[in-house]
Amino acid sequence: MVPTLFGMSLAIFLMVRLMPGDVIDVLTGGDVSITPAQREGIRRTLGLDKPLPVQYLQWVGGMAAGNPGLSLRSHEPVGAILARALPITVELVIIAVVFAVALGIPLGVISASRRESVGDYVARVGGLIGLSMPSFWLATLILLFTSIVFQWIPAVSFVPFLQDPLGNLSQVVIPGISVSVFVIAIVMRMTRATMLEVLSQDYVRTARAKGASRRSVTYHHALRNALIPVVTVVGFQVGTLMSGAAIVEVIFGLPGLGYTLIQAIFARDYPLVQTTTMLLATIFVILNLTVDLLYGVIDPRIRAR
Amino acid sequence: MKVADHQLTRRELLKRSGLLAGAGLVAPSALLEACGTTTTTSTTSTTPKRGGKVTWALEQDPTYLAPFGGIPTSNHWGNEFMYDSLLQWDKDLNVQNALAESYTTPDDRTYIFKLKQGIKFHNGKELTADDVKYSFDLMANPPLPGSTSYLGQFPAVASTDVVDKYTVKFTMKKPDASMIGFLAWGRYSGIAPVDMYKQLNPVTQGIGTGPMRLVEYVPNDHVTYTRFADFWGKPLPYFDDLVLKVLPDEQARVAALRSGAVDGATVSPDNARVLGKDKNLVVYKGLTAAFREIQFTVKAGEKKPWADRRVRQAISAAINRQDLIDKVYSGDGKYSGFIPPGYGKYPIAASDLVNKYFKFDLNKAKQLMSDAGFSSGFPLTMLSIAQPADMTQAAEVVKEHLQQIKIDVNIVPQMIGEFAKNNGNGSFDVDLTSRGMRGDPNGFVAEFVNNAKLWWPGYEMPPDIAALVAKGIATPQQDQRYPIYSQLQQTLMNELLEIPLVAVYKYQVVTSRLHNMYVAFTDFNTGLRQAWLG
């Protein structure tokens, strides 16, 4: 994991500096009256005049010490910005995953166990629509729909969960649904595909032959074995959602990680872009590790190996 | 019943879209040339009411609230209700006293300001000349997160001296008439109490004398203000609380307006038209200083076709500005000179721009191209700003126009950072760009002297341009400055190293319970200072 994180940090650091446009121009609003001396003065003040290896080591050292530096634009500690943004995105992702698991798995199971039925067709078509529908489009549509029909949208000023749980949930549930539709479709399709495969296995036939009920065969014998690829997909989607929810965050005015990252990219705010990206990448790596460990919990045979 | 200035009603919007054309259903509207702003009549309450909470959607995060050297425009959107300057503009850009009681100019290098007595900061401390000196010293050398790059706008103040508790004297390095506009603009000249930067974090906190006291700023989310009961400009403000909510997505702002989640927001012309059909919303529009223009570089030894003045004149004559306004701005726009319409008495009269300086005349354009030896045309690469999209759309229309004089335009849209870099170091042939607000008319024309070596090193600039720029800035009496800038603009419109195109409107949509608004020419939200909830 450490070599992976090191490689990622180096790649992120270099790629951020390959972004077109000079941070000084962004910071100065493209003011052409600025003299070269002033330009260099700003660069020096921000520490951007130092050689790249020095800048890299300072950033990595700062992250290791829990202080990845200051935002170039606002001069607020990057750590404080991320501490404010991370819980919002985590909450959004949790809601999306809860919806995806709560709806996607049952729909997939029903679809597989009633193959070629009307319910199966409906679920499959719904899955295709869910996959094809961009979350930002759906989010915009939901916003416009509720605003026109009900003269209501989620409150625009974000309230933390601990401060006002109901107020908070009323703000994040709709964005959560917007980003979950795609994941619901993926989970449903994956569950259906693996269930169909498992249901054709010999041990399932044996279970049926010994007189186990349909419900017992489906949920006790088949589903548990079908869940391994689903867990992999869900784990992967959680990582993707951490950054992929950005546009929905922007649409709903939720100042989460993705929103912060987009603003930072536009501002060429190197420390903030680097650290946010690094945080997202680290979360992704940890999630992959967690998924690997979960295999053993779901399937004891893997643990035994 | 009252008349609401700068207001575009639902009916007018319908009329504009042709639905009510000719039906005689719309009350006659007058054109107010003072600010280049359409004014229509509307029925709203004339008696201001106190109380209530206003939520306004911002397109961008303020980034920081620090008052000195803030480069992003959104910085001032975030702090304009907190800080005041010594002077202020009214909606027609007339200079009025703000924190100053009066000022005198005993000679052309000295300004003496008397402060109003008894003005309180939000922390209860009384405003004195020490605070003005403290603030001006920081304006001259803005600490982070401010930037020294704004200093091109800062007047030539040599020293700020406290004469007595309520009197402050500015000694200038040279005669500089931009001092008054700089103070009235207020963007960079807010007054903060002594040692404020030592007492708090100016990124997220602040103490001023403005109508609203800061409660909290959560970056990327919102700024919350509450009414400052000891505000010097009573009876303002009328509402109790103000929340500035950051909503970068325009459709989200539209939905928030429709649902009443916010009381006001800036939107695009298209959305303004749609929202104008909502009976609960009112659309206001007004010109801002951000006019669009074409800019050339003329470098030594390159011998590009546009180094010839006649080619630039041909390009200007071949551009049909009304067609540009119709196609890109849905008919809402005005011809602009080097000083944009709405900037007090400085702009060239609209009729002269339309019928004389920027008259569309294809035959004249072809003749000029022929005289310059380019009757068979030439290729040209034009940079444009990718966002806002109208800049590149305008470039496309210009391309279409220039094809008629056989100029083949290759448009290269760029993100603002890259565009600004190329513009800043002169790495372009031609670009289609936008200008912003300035505190003084000198700000619109000074680049023809200050940046001449950067953008036009291969061009022999007529000497009267530098002379007129110097004369304009050294003339403190406003009425004597008008003819200077008129003459200067006429000279520039002959040279056309930059070709002004059109000034565009800004649209603000508010809920019908918010009264007495107007769209400020400055691109800030001074209209909200005087608004009230009905």
Residue A42 lies in a domain: no
pLDDT in tens, A88-111: 999 999 999 999 999 999 999 999
As a whole number of angstroms, the distance between CA B214 and CA B232 comes to 16
Cβ atoms of residues B257 and B509 within 8 Å: yes
pLDDT at B34 over 50: no
Residues 6 or more apart whose Cβ sits within 8 Å of residue A301:
none
Cβ atoms of residues B385 and B392 within 8 Å: yes
pLDDT at B38 over 60: no
- Closest residue in A to B66 (Cα) is A74
Contacts of A38 in chain B (CB under 8 A): 148-149, 151
pLDDT at B265 over 50: yes
Residues 6 or more apart whose Cβ sits within 8 Å of residue B156:
B172, B173, B174, B176
Contacts of B447 in chain A (CB under 8 A): 32-33
Residue A61 lies in a domain: no
In angstroms, how far is the first alpha carbon of chain A from the final one?
22
Backbone φ and ψ of B412, nearest 5°: -120, 100
Stretch B434-441: mean pLDDT: 90
As a whole number of angstroms, the distance between CA B305 and CA B313 comes to 12
B370 in reach of chain A (CB within 8 A):
no
- Residue B11: the pLDDT is 41
Contacts of A251 in chain B (CB under 8 A): 249, 251-252
Residue A17 lies in a domain: no
A-contacting residues in B 240-259 (Cβ below 8 Å): 243, 245-249, 251-252, 254-256, 258-259
Rounded to the nearest 10 degrees, the angle between the axes of helix A223-244 and helix A270-298 is 170
B262 in reach of chain A (CB within 8 A):
yes
pLDDT bracket for residue B45 (50, 70, 90): low
pLDDT at A156 over 70: yes
Q: Which of A18, A28, A33 to probe the B interface (max B CBs under 10 A)? A: A33
Question: Is A156 in contact with B247 (Cβ distance < 8 A)?
Answer: yes
B-contacting residues in A 143-202 (Cβ below 8 Å): 143-144, 146-148, 150-153, 155-158
- Closest residue in B to A142 (Cα) is B255
Residue A191 lies in a domain: yes
Q: What is the mean pLDDT of chain B?
A: 89
Residue A101 lies in a domain: yes
pLDDT at B6 over 70: no
Cβ atoms of residues B63 and A73 within 8 Å: yes
Question: Is A25 in contact with B63 (Cβ distance < 8 A)?
Answer: no
Backbone φ and ψ of A294, nearest 5°: -70, -30
A-contacting residues in B 15-74 (Cβ below 8 Å): 55, 57, 61, 63-64, 71-73
Q: Lowest mean pLDDT: which of A285-289, B169-173, B201-205, B467-471? A: A285-289
- Of B147, B222, B454, Cβ closest to residue A42: B147
Question: Is B259 in contact with A76 (Cβ distance < 8 A)?
Answer: no
Percent of chain B with pLDDT over 90: 74
- Closest residue in A to B250 (Cα) is A251
Q: ipTM greater than 0.90, yes or no? A: no
- Residue B166: the pLDDT is 97
pLDDT in tens, B382-413: 999 887 788 999 999 999 999 999 999 999 99
Residues 6 or more apart whose Cβ sits within 8 Å of residue A101:
A187, A234
Contacts of B150 in chain A (CB under 8 A): 31
Residue A217 lies in a domain: yes
Q: What does B57-76 look like in DSSP terms, one character per residue?
A: EESS------SSS--SHHHH
The three-state secondary structure class of B142 is: coil
What range does the domain containing A112 cover? Answer: 78-304
Per DSSP, B353 falls in state I
- Residue B101: the pLDDT is 97
pLDDT in tens, B459-516: 999 999 999 999 999 998 888 999 999 999 999 999 999 999 999 999 999 999 999 9
- Residue A220: the pLDDT is 82
A-contacting residues in B 153-182 (Cβ below 8 Å): none
pLDDT in tens, B64-80: 899 999 888 889 999 99
A268 in reach of chain B (CB within 8 A):
yes
pLDDT in tens, B192-234: 999 999 999 998 999 999 999 999 998 888 999 999 999 999 9
B419 in reach of chain A (CB within 8 A):
yes
Q: Where do the domains of chain B lie, and which CATH numbers do they carry?
A: 60-235 (3.40.190.10), 289-504 (3.10.105.10)
Residue A174 lies in a domain: yes
- Closest residue in A to B243 (Cα) is A157
* CATH number of the domain bearing residue A126: 1.10.3720.10
B148 in reach of chain A (CB within 8 A):
yes
Total residues found in chain A within this entry: 305
Of B75, B67, B82, B83, nearest to B219 by C-alpha is: B75
- Residue B42: the pLDDT is 42
In angstroms, the separation between the Cα of residue A70 and the nearest Cα of chain B is 11
- Residue A91: the pLDDT is 93
- Residue A26: the pLDDT is 67
The arrangement of strands across the sheet holding B100-107 comes to B100-107, B110-115, B167-172, B157-164
As a whole number of angstroms, the distance between CA A15 and CA B95 comes to 49
Q: pTM, whole model, 2 decimals?
A: 0.83
**Number of domain units in chain A:** 1
- Of B144, B220, B424, Cβ closest to residue A32: B424
pLDDT at B41 over 60: no
B411 in reach of chain A (CB within 8 A):
no
Q: Lowest mean pLDDT: which of A277-286, B209-218, B241-250, B392-401? A: A277-286
Residue A112 lies in a domain: yes
Q: Which of A74, A172, A265, A266 to probe the B interface (max B CBs under 10 A)? A: A74
Question: Is B218 in contact with A255 (Cβ distance < 8 A)?
Answer: yes
A75 in reach of chain B (CB within 8 A):
yes
A277 in reach of chain B (CB within 8 A):
no
